[in-house]
Amino acid sequence: MKTYFVTGGAGFIGSNFVLHILNTYPDVRIVNVDKLTYAGNLENLASVLDDERHIFIQADICDRTAMAQAIDAYKPDFVVNFAAESHVDRSIVDPGIFCQTNVAGTQTLLDVCRDAWKTSSGYGDHKFLQVSTDEVYGSLPEDDKSVLFREDTPLAPRSPYSASKASADLFVKAYHETYGMPVNITRCSNNYGPFQFPEKLIPLMFHNACNHVKLPVYGDGMNIRDWLYVEDHCRAIDLVLNEAPVGEVYNIGGHNERTNIHIVEQVIQYVHNNIDTTVDASLIEHVTDRLGHDRRYGIDPTKIGRDLGWQPETPFEVGIIKTLDWYRTHQAWIDNVTSGQYQSYYERMYKNREVLS
């Protein structure tokens, strides 16, 4: 029985990964560690909370004692680090917490795993996988779609969030080079799918549209992102863990570059057709842009396809409907996560932005 130690496993991508592993492999155990901040939600794991293969620990990855005790108690084969502060807007307001969680937390996990796994004969079959982001590469030109992020693209982060993730990546690589740690790094494009906290574009716009609240679009809305359905991402991480050579970095993208305004229009169309015919584009409100807003991201996933046989299986036109169907049929989940602290956050992020049109 392999044991997976998953940090941030109650968050959006982490919980989808936990469910993927438990649904794919009958003979596994997952130790799920999450601090349960605003974005960590045990409701995401309702279907497996009583599964004896799933062990949940509420803890902070920066707590060295707690991490060491958990690693020692469960002796995992794999550590998969999803735990991170992940929203660029929040990083602009409070960069310090991103340094603490994303950089210091990753380094703490690396230290604990090195100390637990290192023997006179090496690290055995253990592996540490760092889940990173395409944002560490910076921004791409809009006018040349042939230019994509590749694994050898220089790191050029442009926000406190992406700088913290790039720093964490460099620590992971340094532990591999210095201590021989068995590591991989995956860098994904924008994920979407079930359980995504509604500070991110798709669930935010869906929630607002359903409630006839203005849809705040940064600037001209022409910023471009490559969209990756979360289940495709989870399959890729699974492959990297089990089949990739140690030390390798893999980009994971969906071949789905879309402008932000196109995404918003897709959400409006869905709500209009399936929920409320009075919802239309009049809800769109262009507001002052995010500071340092990267113009375009685009991932080249050739390497993971060539080395491991992975390809994204979900076209955006299919994935967006699956995602919005999920939100439509899980209104109680949305109501729970958008109460309390979320309201004050939303007002802080959007209330005082100048309306452009």
Around Cβ 303, how many Cβ atoms within 10 Å? 18
Alpha helix positions (H), the chain: 12-24, 64-74, 88-93, 95-98, 105-117, 160-179, 201-210, 230-243, 260-274, 302-308, 316-328, 331-337, 341-346
Q: Which of 305, 143, 298, 139 is nearest to 227 (CA)?
A: 298
135 given a catalytic annotation: yes
Of 34, 60, 85, 135, catalytic: 135
Of 4, 137, 161, 250, catalytic: 161
Distance between CA atoms of 335 and 344, rounded to whole angstroms? 15
Residue boundaries of the structural domains of the chain = 2-193+227-255+296-315
Total residue count of the chain as it appears in this document: 357
Record: fold of 2-193+227-255+296-315: Rossmann fold (3.40.50)
User: Cβ contacts of residue 189 below 8 Å, gap of 6+?
Assistant: 134, 225, 226, 227, 228, 252, 253, 254, 297, 298, 299
Place of tokens 């920066």: 62
What is the predicted pLDDT for the residue at 336? 81
User: Cβ contacts of residue 134 below 8 Å, gap of 6+?
Assistant: 149, 187, 188, 189, 226, 251, 253, 297, 299
Distance between CA atoms of 237 and 301, rounded to whole angstroms? 13
User: Cβ contacts of residue 173 below 8 Å, gap of 6+?
Assistant: 183, 185
Quick: pLDDT tens for 145-200: 889 999 999 999 999 999 999 999 999 999 999 999 999 999 999 999 999 988 88
Asked if the model's pLDDT at residue 322 lies above 50, the reply is yes
Asked if the model's pLDDT at residue 355 lies above 80, the reply is no
Of 60, 77, 134, 231, catalytic: 134
Packing angle, helices 316-328 and 201-210, rounded to 10: 50
Dig out the tokens for 322 from the structure: 């699956």
Quick: pLDDT tens for 259-318: 999 999 999 999 999 999 999 999 999 999 888 888 999 999 999 999 999 999 999 999
The pTM for the full model equals 0.92
Quick: pLDDT tens for 85-117: 877 888 888 899 999 999 999 999 999 999 999
What is the predicted pLDDT for the residue at 111? 98
What is the predicted pLDDT for the residue at 93? 87
Provide DSSP, 158-227.
-SHHHHHHHHHHHHHHHHHHHH---EEEEEE-EEESTT--TTSHHHHHHHHHHTT--EEEETTS--EEEE
